[in-house]
A and B are shown apart, each in its own frame.
Chain A
């Protein structure tokens, strides 16, 4: 009975892991990169430098909005923080005018409130969005697909744990150069070492979009989801403009009021309703870097007097739990040490998914009726593995290269950076489909290694912020970015070398050596 349970769980682990494994690999890889999304954005806009003061920057942003969109319905301001150097502003125009291009209703500002004329890029934000919104397809479909993949992941993790007999004995077991056994070890080590992280990240990932995937807990108590959200967020009703002009009170003072209320924590987000009108209100939300919970407290002030109107009600245990789960997933609270741990755990998860995918083929290759001519399913998995693992690597490197190489004033530049990622990815997929599998692995991995290695060099040729200059200036963000690119290049290069010397060749060599010894004796 016990043995059959393990068998059925092993079967379930294999198939839930494989079916959406390629999507999971992409989600894990880009989600891991997203732990450094602000830093990636800063690298992708090398023109932007400095460390603006959030209060001064917000006051500048208000001046910008007062001239650009004085009669907007609402302004939204995200001040700079310890990681990002720019202020993001969005505004909702009065009336239901059709939405024009992104530039008509949003801007990236510097510390004084001037529009930044840096290269157009979606930066790290794209990688963050891609890991749950994907690209080129409607967001809602993408989110359902991603949710199904995450649930498969959760089931694969649980069934994997049940399957795994010696979960603690295998903790430090990593045997190199032993073919299938090594792949299994790599899969187990990356899975077991960071098991709490994998479970946490998968479960909390589902929680971030819980009301989309499981709306029935809310539907049981509320006839309309809106009444639920009103109960939770106590959203104030929209107030019509009175038509009586009144200047906005200084926001700097409002931010200081809010910070004092939150024991010194900064303001992460502001929204201003009916700016310039007597009915103006300002809502301030606590910065996400100052606590784990993703839904920090908010404070609403009267826009003309700065008087306190309303504070968010304290949450109950379940809502607080949800807020902390989402916060744990996004990791916005994490300081440097913890942020790198998040990143490394994410890399571990990515390797776990990737090695699991490879293991599927390695395990089956020996049992094929004719290893020279594998059946269609086997060939498909093999090719998709090349495209998913090496192809995404090549794609990410191309995204960074395109950021440096595309003309600065190019039309739709940010879009073409994103297209570059997918062009490289699809190119590797086509390459993997037409080449013999083993050659495809070597060539695609080597290509990814070359592209990653090229990033620091292209950066040095196209910007003044090369590795040497960054080291001298103590610009650790740029140093770390270049270093990670070189490490990724080394990793892919090592993998390409490994793929070039398959186990069969080594075993044969070892066998012939053994034979020679026998003969010599």
Chain B
């Protein structure tokens, strides 16, 4: 089939599915956590920091999506994403719990 021919060698359906899950829903969660942390960390007025982080989000999402299909090991990809997600999520939780929101 045409699909098989254009797919890089040694890549199974499951491999593609795992990468697509990482590249779309997991990427969205990770990007959201990342820019939420960025919005709290940037040394600007809060509305400025929020907008700057939001603008950066699309570039971050696109790069992470490319990376999800570029890296060799799917297992390492998921490990890295989960690890980063826990770090960012924890940091965000602490920041909001101690600093509050406007």
B58 touches A214 (CB 8 A): yes
B38 interface hit (Cβ, 8 Å): yes
Chain B: minimal CB distance from A441 (Å): 19
Find chain B residues with CB under 8 A from A219 CB.
36
B70 interface hit (Cβ, 8 Å): yes
A:82-135 near B, CB below 8 Å: none
A9 touches B47 (CB 8 A): no
Cα–Cα distance between A211 and B101 once the two chains are bound (Å): 18
B53 touches A217 (CB 8 A): yes
Interface size in chain A (residues, C-beta < 8 A): 46
A319 interface hit (Cβ, 8 Å): yes
A232 touches B92 (CB 8 A): no
Chain A: minimal CB distance from B26 (Å): 15
A316 touches B35 (CB 8 A): no
A221 touches B54 (CB 8 A): no
Closest A residue, CB atoms, query B52: A318
B47 touches A231 (CB 8 A): yes
| Proximity bits, A49-81, B CB within 8 Å = 1, else 0 | 000000000000000000000000000000000
B58 touches A4 (CB 8 A): no
B55 touches A325 (CB 8 A): yes
Cα–Cα distance between A377 and B6 once the two chains are bound (Å): 15
Find chain A residues with CB under 8 A from B54 CB.
210-211, 214, 217-218, 322
Given A158-B62, A322-B55: A216 and B69 within 8 A (CB)?
Answer: no
B38 touches A228 (CB 8 A): no
B49 touches A221 (CB 8 A): yes
Find chain A residues with CB under 8 A from B39 CB.
216-218, 220-221
Q: Which of B7, B40, B62 has the most CB of A within 10 A?
A: B62
Given A155-B65, A325-B55, A378-B2: A316 and B44 within 8 A (CB)?
Answer: yes
Cα–Cα distance between A367 and B33 once the two chains are bound (Å): 44
A469 interface hit (Cβ, 8 Å): no
B92 touches A317 (CB 8 A): no
Q: Which residue of the partner chain, among B2, B51, B102, contacts A227 with CB atoms under 8 Å? A: B102
A180 interface hit (Cβ, 8 Å): no
Given A14-B6, A220-B53: A318 and B44 within 8 A (CB)?
Answer: yes
Find chain B residues with CB under 8 A from A312 CB.
none
B61 touches A151 (CB 8 A): yes
B45 interface hit (Cβ, 8 Å): yes
Given A217-B50, A221-B39, A317-B48: A8 and B102 within 8 A (CB)?
Answer: no
A217 touches B36 (CB 8 A): yes
A:209-240 near B, CB below 8 Å: 210-211, 214, 216-223, 227-228, 231-232
A210 touches B47 (CB 8 A): no
B50 touches A151 (CB 8 A): no
B58 touches A151 (CB 8 A): yes
B40 touches A220 (CB 8 A): yes
Find chain A residues with CB under 8 A from B17 CB.
none
Find chain A residues with CB under 8 A from B7 CB.
11
Find chain B residues with CB under 8 A from A231 CB.
46-47, 102
B22 interface hit (Cβ, 8 Å): no
Cα–Cα distance between A388 and B6 once the two chains are bound (Å): 24
B:66-99 near A, CB below 8 Å: 66, 69-70, 72, 92, 96
Given A154-B62, A155-B65, A228-B47: A221 and B70 within 8 A (CB)?
Answer: no
Closest B residue, CB atoms, query A319: B51
A255 interface hit (Cβ, 8 Å): no
A222 touches B55 (CB 8 A): no
Chain A: minimal CB distance from B64 (Å): 10
Q: List 10 A-B contacts (CB under 8 A).
A: A8-B69, A9-B70, A210-B54, A217-B36, A217-B38, A221-B39, A316-B44, A318-B49, A322-B51, A364-B5
The 3 closest A-B pairs by CB, nearest first: A220-B36, A217-B54, A318-B52
